[in-house]
Amino acid sequence: MIKDNLQSAMDRFKGRHNAGHSSLRSNGPHAAASSAVIYSRTRSVVIPDEILQRHRILTGRNSNQFSNAYKILRTQVIHRLRENNWNVLGITSPRDGEGKTLTAINLAIALAAEPTQTVLLVDADLCAPRLHRELGLESDEGLTEFLLDSRPIEDLLVYPGLGRLIVLPGGRGTDHSAEALTSPRMSALAKELKHRYASRIVIFDLPPALDRADVLAFTPQLDALLLVVEEGKTTEPEFLQIMQILKGSVPILGTVLNKIGRDHLSLSTMKRTNTGNVKERG
C-alpha cells in the first residue's frame, strides 16, 4: 500500500540523515512573548463561520479529533522550533493539491491560540496564491503587490480574528514567482519579519517543491521546512526526490501524512515518530 511504502521511505531517509540534524543552524535566542499583537494599520475582517466550516478551518471554539490533531502538530512544531531557536517555517508539498495550504492555515491558527505566541502567515505561493480564498478574504492584494508594485506592507496585512494570527495574502499571481521570492526586496522583508518581534513565528505557505524552483530558491530565508504528503497521491519516488532536492539546503522539521482513508491525518517528525490516525471534521 502507498501508506506503507511512503512510511518506509520516510523511515529510510530518517535513518540516513538523522546524524546531520545535530548541526542545524540557529538564529538567535527565543524570547518571552507579549500577550497582544499590535499593528497600527492592519485591516480587521470577520470570517463567517460557514466559510471556516466548509473549508475545514479551525475556529478554536470546538474540540474534536481534527482540532486535536493540529494541537499535537503544534506541540511538535513548537518543541522543535524552540530547541533550535528558530521562528521561520516553510510549508510545502511535492505536488499541488496535497493539502499544504490547509495545513499551513490550521497550524498557524493552532499556534496563534497559544497565550504567549503570535503568528504571521504569509502566502508565498505567488504563482497560484489561494490562502485568501480559503479564508474568504475579498482582497486580492498582498505579497506580490509589495514585491512588484512597492505597496507598503502594513497596507496588506489582515487580522482575521483567529487568535493572535496576522495574515499576509499572496496577491495577484505571477509567472515570475521564483524571481520575486529571491529579490532583494523579499530578502529584506524576510529578515524584518523574522527579527521584528521575538515572540512571533512566521509561516510561509510555499509552492509545491517538485513543480517549481521557488522552494529551493527560498530556503535561505527559512529556518526549517514542513512537508505535507497525501496518501494515494504522493509516491515513494516523489518523496525521496523532494528529500534529495532539499538535502543540505534547509532542515526538514517533519512530515504530515494527509488524507489517510480520505478522512484521516497522520503526523510524524524527522526526529521522532509520533503517528496517530484521527478523524477530520466533516
Query: Which residue do the cell numbers 490533531 mark?
Result: 69
* Total H helices, total E strands in the chain: 10, 10
- pLDDT tens digits for the chain (282 residues)? 434 444 555 555 445 444 433 333 333 333 333 333 345 567 888 888 888 888 788 876 667 778 888 888 999 999 999 999 999 999 999 888 788 999 999 999 999 998 888 999 999 999 999 998 899 887 679 999 999 999 999 999 999 989 899 999 999 999 999 999 999 999 999 999 999 888 899 999 999 999 888 999 999 999 999 999 887 777 888 888 888 888 889 999 888 887 654 444 444 543 333 333 223 332
Cα–Cα nearest to 221, from 183, 179, 254, 190: 190
Looking at CATH, the fold of the domain delimited by 2-17+42-279 is given as Rossmann fold (3.40.50)
Residues whose CB is less than 8 angstroms from the CB of residue 107 and which lie 6 or more positions away in sequence, other chains included: 70, 73, 74, 77, 91, 203, 226
Distance CA 15, CA 141 (A): 43
Distance CA 215, CA 195 (A): 21
What are the CA-CA distances from residue 22 to residues 12, 26, 28, 83, 267 (Å)? Answer: 18, 11, 17, 11, 22
DSSP string, 214-228: HHHHHGGG-SEEEEE
Distance CA 65, CA 266 (A): 12
The residues facing 40 across adjacent strands are none
CB 57 within 8 A of CB 112: no
Question: How many CA atoms are closer than 13 Å to the CA of 29, on its beta-carbon side?
Answer: 3
What are the CA-CA distances from residue 160 to residues 94, 138, 168 (Å)? Answer: 29, 12, 11
Domain ranges of the chain: 2-17+42-279
